[in-house]
A and B are shown apart, each in its own frame.
Chain A
Amino acid sequence: MPDMESAPPAAVRIAGVDDKALAERQEAGPTRRDVLFDVAGLTASYSDVPALRDVSLEIYKNYITAFIGPSGCGKSTFIRCFNRMNDLIPTAKVEGTILYHGLDLYGPEVDSVEVRKRIGMVFQKPNPFPKSIYDNVAFGPRVLGWKEGLDERVEQALRQAALWNEVKNRLKASAYSLSGGQQQRLCIARCLAVEPDVILMDEPASALDPISTTSIEDLMHGLKRDYTIVIVTHNMQQAARVADMTAFFSVEVDEESDRRTGILVEYDETPTIFTNPGDKRTEDYVTGRFG
């Protein structure tokens, strides 16, 4: 158990962020950096208006990476680039490359359906299907053609999402009978049932109460062992609590056209971002001077 004296001096004070937690992270964090995603020069636009410009970073395997920043900085657009969900929007266009296991996600002949089988997503507002709890979790495997062993898959996914004990006796009940926090864990279980590599989470706890939020964050720590997690959050304290790496995005306003485009400002280990950020804009944001 690290003691307070050996915690690094905090160059910047951020309300609500526990120095002790940061210090724990620094000591216990993953030391090996395996590159899972290599993003280079990514620009995402809607109807030819860029929402996010020229982003380059690397996401590491079995890390929890957080994207933070003020609203409108394109972080949701960015995370949706990883599983090609932006394909569903007809006016969306993505330029640049995202290498996943060395393959460009946006390369020719890459099938977005295959991409999504490996890179799953949990949404801001829990969106369970209008079906039973069992059928919600079983939907993914069924769609993939995994017909045998469904019961076991469903149980394992629900256990991993820390929901099994609460629902094991009412798997046939409607998913809507669950509380908000339970529904979100159900969505996580649903995602886990297809055995993805990566779990993308777009503000997964922002629609939940604080207790549910804590349970989701605890879940993330547990899932980190087997999955790579990328999370978008507007809650800095949450990023400080869960993330190993944090990327800070901001908005750039074009003086002439008044257009707002998102850019990546700084990307580093979480403790650094929160205690010793390199860019002034990052410092302003994490200390609450703006945003």
Chain B
Amino acid sequence: MSVPAAAVGRRPRGDKIRGRAFYVLLLVSVSVGFVLLGTLLVDVLQKGIGYLDPILFTEPASANPDRAGARPAILGTIYMMLILLVVVVPLGVGTAIYLEEYANRERWYNRLLELNIQNLAAVPSIVYGILGLAFLVRGLGLGRVLLAGALILTLLVLPTVIVASREAIRAVPDSIRQGAYALGATQWQVVARQVLPAAVPGIATGSILALARAIGETAPLLLVGALTYVAVDPTLLGSFTALPVQIYQWIARPQDEFRLLAAAGIIVLLAILLTMNAFAIWLRNRYQKRW
């Protein structure tokens, strides 16, 4: 491609204007999200601050917005988080160990397994709710109980934990494994005494982020029966609700005050999420190994 001598040295003005306009467009693209986020936060704070008081944390839901609180919802969220922690982390890490350390990639069933996990990660969350409805609530006859909600959330975030754990395990250099094998360690000894300890920071960070995602999920819980009007503290096999569901219920109420109450609930929810994410990031920065 030959360039005419006159064009060398100075770019035509049209070009420059176009270049600048494009740049502005790009900046707008990047900013749109943040502008909306900022507006959202300000709006929520404005609306909810009035209802952000101890009643929110100590009282159950009520038809009277001045006396309504989110106590069963907050407890429900906390209980489910604890169950999630105990169930989804071992399952996810176990699957990740199997895929990274034990499974022979050439075999078709292992490749299918990987593909399956990739697909599960993209299934709409409400489909998990349908799964729970069919099997746990009606099928197993568990009913609309906390345990059902927790189990469904487990399945929902399991792929996320698996992916994060796999990355953490994969990051451990192979030379470490070779060194351990060469000393006469069995496969499990290599995994449990060298690979896992080195991968713990990444696994912990990934798990916390997955849990944070689970806390914000509403749709599956709607189907698994997070009853929208719960006046008692939740128990494992009793009726339950969760914070996002309570927020939804308040939004759906006609009175304006309930909208403000919903905003207060949102502030609490976002605060919990912010703490968890910040903790996960701090964990990652503090303990991440540099190979």
Contact = CB atoms under 8 A, between A and B. Distances in A.
Interface stretch (A26-34, A61-69, A117-125, A241-249): A117-125
Contact of A125 (B104, B175, B184, B193): B175
Interface residues on A, range: 20 to 34
Nearest to A83: B182
A127 B176 contact: yes
Nearest to A139: B183
Contacts of A127: 173, 175-176, 178-179
Interface string B250-285: 000000000000000000000000000000000000
Contacts of A90: 104-106
A105 to B, nearest CB: 14
Nearest to B289: A130
Contacts of B105: 90
Interface string A59-99: 00000000000000000000000010100101000000000
B289 A113 contact: no
Contacts of B178: 85, 88, 123, 127
B198 A139 contact: no
A121 B182 contact: yes
A85 B197 CA distance: 23
Contact of B183 (A114, A125, A130, A190): A190
Contacts of A15: none
Interface string B174-196: 01101111111110010001100
Interface residues of B: mostly helix, strand, loop or mixed? helix
Interface residues on B, range: 20 to 34
Contacts of A142: 193
A85 B181 contact: yes
B186 A191 contact: no
Interface string B188-231: 01000110011000000000000000000000000000000000
Contacts of A187: 179
Given A90-B106, A130-B289, A143-B193, A123 B175 contact: yes
A194 interface: yes
Interface residues of A: mostly helix, strand, loop or mixed? helix
A114 B180 contact: no
A123 B179 contact: yes
A184 B173 CA distance: 17
A237 to B, nearest CB: 27
A5 to B, nearest CB: 46
Contacts of A85: 178, 181-182
Contacts of B180: 129, 139, 143
Interface in B101-132: 104-106
Interface string A100-125: 00000000000001101100110101
Contacts of A120: 182-183
A191 B183 CA distance: 6
A258 to B, nearest CB: 26
Nearest to A90: B104
Interface in A147-193: 187, 190-191
Contacts of A50: none
Nearest to A121: B182
A211 interface: no
A144 interface: yes
A123 to B, nearest CB: 7
Interface string B145-185: 00000000000000000000000000001011011111111
Given A139-B193, A190-B183, 4 more contacts: A113-B186, A116-B184, A123-B182, A129-B176
23 contacts: A85-B181, A85-B182, A113-B184, A114-B184, A116-B181, A116-B183, A121-B182, A123-B175, A123-B178, A123-B179, A125-B175, A127-B175, A128-B179, A129-B180, A129-B194, A130-B197, A139-B183, A140-B184, A143-B180, A143-B189, A144-B184, A194-B183, A194-B184
4 A-B pairs closest in CB distance: A117-B184, A127-B175, A121-B182, A140-B183
